[in-house]
Amino acid sequence: GRALSSRGGRCASSLLLRAIAPYSMWNVYASSVSALAGRSVLMAHLRPVSSSRIAMSGASAPTQSYEKLKALLREVDALSEIQGILGYDEQVFMPPGAAASRAKQKGALAKILHDKSTGTEMREAIEGVRGREEDFDDVRVRANIRDAVDAFDKEARKSSELAQKEAQLESEANQAWAAARKASDFSLFAGKLTEIFELKKEVAAVTRPALKSEPYDGALDAFERGMRAERLDEIFEELRAGLVPLLEAINAKKASDPSVDAPHPSLAFGDQWDTEAQAALSRDVAAKMGYSFDNGRLDVSTHPFTGGAGPQDVRMTTRYSANWAEGFGATIHECGHALYEQGRDVGEEGLGLPASRALSMGVHESQSLLWERMVLQSKPFWEFAAPLFHARFPFTAEATAADFFRTYNRVSPGCIRVEADEVTYPLHVILRYDIERALFRGEMEVAEVPAYWVRRMKEDLGVHVPDDARGCLQDIHWSFGAVGYFPSYTLGAIMAVQIYNAAKADLGAGALEAQIARGECGALDAGPEMRIPALDGTRSAVFEALRSTLSPECTS
């Protein structure tokens, strides 16, 4: 079941069996829903169909309104970067006693940001460029105008009071979640979670009134513009229908022959995996991947994420435990996000402007998935990585690259999403999607979430959930308002597998694998050139980008 799918012959949901990711990026997502960025991993394979629409030469002189708009957007971006640093500090360094003051700080900053983003100066600049995209030849200018107008229209529908309330509640909810998770008591978080969902319903209705017939579509659109619950239902239903019997077959095989799932003895999880050595190894591999520690840092947090303040300050976190594979995989995943951010365009039409940001969170997740699933879980990668493990952990000297590959790729159902294997991971995502949609539609009460969670985990994965901490409190997403984010993992997985296969085809038989085996990770760097699909605004941005040059059968 591990053979890579052909470039154009597999449907979207079957592709997911090869590439589903467990982690996310918390601070980055709020500023990353605009236009497709530059030096992301293999983004050369996200070209638009019509090259005439993105001619980079002969750009017309920017109008006075556009120049004013750029200046204002950069001021807003600078304030957003401050917001990012506050968020990172809150998750990594802030003392717990500062929670209340931090919530007030973030609320006050959110109000300033909202007022700056929707004030008279911004409105005048927006109206001066509205509908003028075709006056410019430079695709980045077009993207900046298109996305600035769209963002302004959405933000202007929101009052400054609502913006402030949203930021403050998310900070308060995050602290409540942390306390509830530590105590493994959902009741400590239920009140704030109820407020979060009610507020997100209000925000979706206010900012995206055209989607009121299916309120949850408004939440999805914040992360995957153009994506709708109706389409996700189709994808997830096909996934569930294929995965559940596949998992049953795997479990039956393991029961009849336990040796198929046995790790190499020296690779078994345990206290022998020194956390300082794990941290050193993570830094080694991140640097080899191309991550710049001059413009970033690697810390530890409860939940791995990527944050910071723009391409010159991209920070990431991971976590270490007796399960060496979890921390190592988290680092690789977050480094994929971080490389994407560090490679954003910092030129005149990029830095601080919409065109330097991600097209969607699915695009962002595709970059982390490309590394974590397509590279990390491949045999060539372990030919490169096994000697690094031997050096940091001498007790693994007898384990070969094949042993590492086999151990890392075991299928074993469990409670925790971020520790899930590639077969069971989609079922974790589907569970969260179903809960979000039911809460948005009023078909479920927040108090019902724990029991529903336990039942579905038993039905779908055959797993008993012993407590709230390993159940509905394990994820940070809802606590900071990322309702509608989880499907981005699945959409990113679709993109990652196709981008990887397209790269293999471009480089020739065995070339990419040989480079990975040598640790030449730069082969996955497409360079700083912009890659912005010419979208019509009515389709899923992810599917439209894929359809242009990759596998149309997977995007219908």
Active site residue ranges? 334
DSSP symbol at 72 = H
**Residue written as tokens 């402007």?**
353
Q: Which two tokens mark 276?
A: 């300082």
| Cα-based distances in Å from 174 to 94, 102, 112, 299, 449 | 13, 11, 22, 19, 18
Burial classification of residue 63, based on how many CB atoms lie within 10 Å of its CB (0-12 exposed, 13-18 middle, 19 or more buried) = middle
**Interatomic CA distance for residues 377 and 371, integer angstroms:** 9
Q: How many CB atoms lie within 10 A of CB 378?
A: 20
Q: Structure tokens of 179? A: 């306390």
CA angle 424, 428, 429 (to 5 degrees): 115
CA–CA separation, 285 and 466 (whole Å): 35
Phi, psi values for residue 248, rounded to 5°: -60, -40
Tokens of 249: 């077959």
Tokens of 324: 């060496």
Could you tell me how far CA 188 lies from the centroid of its own chain? 27
Indicate the SS3 state at residue 208: coil
Tell me which residue of 142, 44, 233 sits closest to 535, measured CA to CA: 142
- Pairing of β 314-318 and β 306-308: antiparallel
Q: Are residues 92 and 317 in contact, defined by beta-carbon separation less than 8 angstroms?
A: yes
Tokens 């910092």 belong to residue? 346
Which of 219, 213, 214 shows the shortest CA–CA distance to 200? 219
CA distance 265 to 400: 12
Contact 125, 181 (CB under 8 A): no
Q: Residue 34: helix, strand or coil by DSSP?
A: coil
> How is residue 62 annotated by DSSP?
P
Task: Let me know the angle formed at the C-alpha of 532 by 117 and 134, rounded to the nearest 5 degrees.
Answer: 70
Largest Cα separation within the chain, whole Å, is 73
Ramachandran quadrant class, 290 (left: phi over 0; alpha: psi -120 to 50; beta: rest): left
d(CA 35, CA 204): 21
CA dist list (Å): 105 to 82, 108, 173: 11, 5, 15
Question: d(Cα 393, Cα 409) in Å, to the nearest integer?
Answer: 20
Rg (CA), the chain: 23
Check: CB of residue 336 under 8 Å from CB of residue 317.
no
Give yes or no for a contact between 501 and 42, defined as CB atoms under 8 angstroms apart.
no
